[in-house]
Amino acid sequence: MLSDRSRPVIEATLPVVADHIEEIAARFYTHLFGQHPELLDGIFNRGNQAERTQQMALAGSVAVFASSLVKVPEQLPEHLLSRIAHKHASLGITPAQYDVVHDNLFWAIVDVLGEAVTPEVAAAWDEVYWLMAYALINQERGLYSARGVRPETVWREWEVVEKIPETDDVVTFRLRRTDDRLVKTSLPGQYVTVQVPMPDGVRQPRQYSLTRADDGEHRQFSVKRVHGGGKPDGEVSNLLFDRVQVGDRLTMSLPFGDVVLDDSGRPVVFASAGIGVTPMAGMLSHLAAAGSHLPITLLHADVDDASFALRGQVLADIEALPGASAHVWYERGAQSSLPIDVHAGVMNLDDVKLPEDAIYYLCGPLPFMQAVRSALIERNVAPRDIQYEVFGPDLWQADLVTEDTPGAGRHAAG
């Protein structure tokens, strides 16, 4: 862990670095892409750069990691590292690229903090960087080797065999393998990165949750097209929605993702909103394929029946599972033609009876996840029993706020 020489230096400089970390991250990315424009083709998500969410995620993760080294030196922030490592592996990040990131990050640190970066300060932060880098490199090596791949070989071509309209804004793609190589099974809840060539010739990666259990031949995911509402429309989701058709090929990574179904036999509660239903659909499909008898509760919030993506598949799986029930909240009121328990308004946990000792999975917009998580904590659900999937870079702000709370980790956020 952190050396005795570096610890007091990190403690003393953490506040000033934390105060400037977003500026450092912004300067870092500008410099990185100036030096290595090839990283913008197929590796970095330019939507996240435009929104600055990736800058905030990098900044937040470094701040959480460094403060955790100082405050809880005996334990690395596992969930943080695991989320990042899975994302990196789904993009084929290599160990050699850590040198490139190192050099550009330290250039940005000096550029922003100037003379405050004495040789002693630089050496201490160098140590933090490599502790984090090696923790990630090691996890990523494990993820690649468990799948029998190298970073360059996480990608495969798949052929679209079905494009199923789900709602006005959501389509499901069903893809079939195009070669004889074994299709490694996904864990329930995992996602793939899809790498799409854009009209300007640049490839853009985006993650999509798998929505069906594996059969060795196919993968399935659902895409909601993002309307800009004053900002640009989402580029990859709209291209997939409008232009990709049956017979086309897509480049897709192997499945990755650390928010996966717990197999300890405890009751499971899924709480989703809108397109956040996709990882839940994947987990339900795995449970149905396995003939699970567990108590399973699906809580889902949407606008109305017509906007509830994957409703046919999800409700068929609920029906096939003897211990499963579904409860839905619709913004437009409690009218529904589906054979389920429907409530009007936003999700309210008081409307349902939740099982004892359950594991909770949340997915949806951040305010939704924050509200549901708070309601669960109010009901004395332990933070470690609440997992969530974020459809974008995790900003780790909850970890910064709650870092003094014992046991509060990534799963304590929303």
Ligand X SMILES: Cc1cc2nc3c(=O)[nH]c(=O)nc-3n(C[C@H](O)[C@H](O)[C@H](O)COP(=O)(O)OP(=O)(O)OC[C@H]3O[C@@H](n4cnc5c(N)ncnc54)[C@H](O)[C@@H]3O)c2cc1C
Residues near ligand HEM (CB under 6 A): 39, 43-45, 48, 54, 57-58, 61-62, 83-84, 87-88, 91, 93, 97-98, 101, 129, 132-133, 136, 393-394
Residue 366 site contact among ligand X, ligand HEM, none (CB < 5 to 8 Å, cut-off depends on kind): none
Least distance from C-beta 356 to ligand HEM, angstroms?
A: 32
Instruction: Return the number of the residue (109 or 298) whose C-beta is nearest ligand X.
Output: 298
**Residue 232 or 312: which CB sits closer to ligand X?**
232
Q: For the CB of residue 85, give the shortest distance to ligand HEM in the complex, in Å.
A: 9
Catalytic residue numbers read 98, 140
Q: Name the helix (H) or strand (E) containing 90.
A: none
Residue 95 binds which one of ligand HEM, ligand X, none, with CB within 5 to 8 A depending on kind?
none
Instruction: Please state the separation of Cα 94 from the chain's center in Å.
Output: 20
Q: Looking at beta carbons only, is 42 or 295 nearer to ligand HEM?
A: 42
Binding track, positions 217-256, relative to ligand X; x by CB under 6 A? ----xxxx-x-x--xx-xxxxx------------------
| Listed residue (345, 341, 272) closest to 310, CA to CA | 272
| Shortest distance (Å) from residue 121 CB to ligand X | 34
Six-digit token string for 4: 């005795």
Tell me if 208 contacts ligand X by CB under 6 A.
Answer: yes
In single-letter form, the type of residue at position 83 comes to: R
CB of 296 to ligand HEM, least distance (A): 27
DSSP letter string, 250-308 = EEEEPPB-S-----S---EEEEEEGGGHHHHHHHHHHHHHTT--S-EEEEEEES-GGG-
Restricting to residues 172-191, which ones interact with ligand X according to CB under 6 A?
191
Nearer to ligand HEM, 133 or 306 (CB): 133
Element (H, E) at 190: none
Say whether 262 sits in a helix, a strand or coil. Answer: coil
CA distance 146 to 371: 36
Minimum CB distance to ligand X smaller for 51 or for 304: 51
| Residue of closest CB approach to ligand X | 47
Give the bridge partners for 162, in sequence order.
Answer: 174
- Rounding to the nearest 10 degrees, give the CA dihedral for residues 317, 369, 352, 291: 20
Q: What is the DSSP string of 212-240?
A: S---SSEEEEEEEPPP-TTSPPPHHHHHH
Cα–chain center distance at 329: 24
CB 368 within 8 A of CB 276: yes
Min dist. Cβ of residue 113 to ligand X (A): 28
According to CB under 6 A, which one of 27, 83, 88, 206 is a site residue for ligand X? 206
CA distances in angstroms from 325 to 17, 194, 319, listed in the order given? 49, 32, 8
Question: Of these partners, ligand HEM, ligand X, none, which one is at the site of residue 221 (CB under 5 to 8 Å by kind)?
Answer: ligand X
- SS3 category, 150: coil
5/184 with CB nearer ligand X: 184
The contact mask relative to ligand X for 17-56 (x = CB under 6 A, - = no) is ------------------------------x--xx-----
The reply on whether position 214 binds ligand X by CB under 6 A is: no
345 CB neighbour count, 10 Å cutoff: 13
Report whether 159 contacts 248 (CB < 8 A): yes
Shortest distance, position 96 Cβ to ligand HEM, whole Å: 8
- Closest separation in Å from C-beta 82 to ligand HEM: 10
CB-nearer residue toward ligand X: 279 or 383: 279
Q: What is the dihedral of CA 13, 16, 17, 20, to 10 degrees?
A: -170
The answer to whether 209 touches 280, Cβ cutoff 8 Å, is: no
How many angstroms separate the CA atoms of 193 and 205, rounded?
6
Chain residues binding ligand X by CB under 6 A are: 47, 50-51, 191, 206-209, 221-224, 226, 228, 231-232, 234-238, 275, 278, 389, 391-392
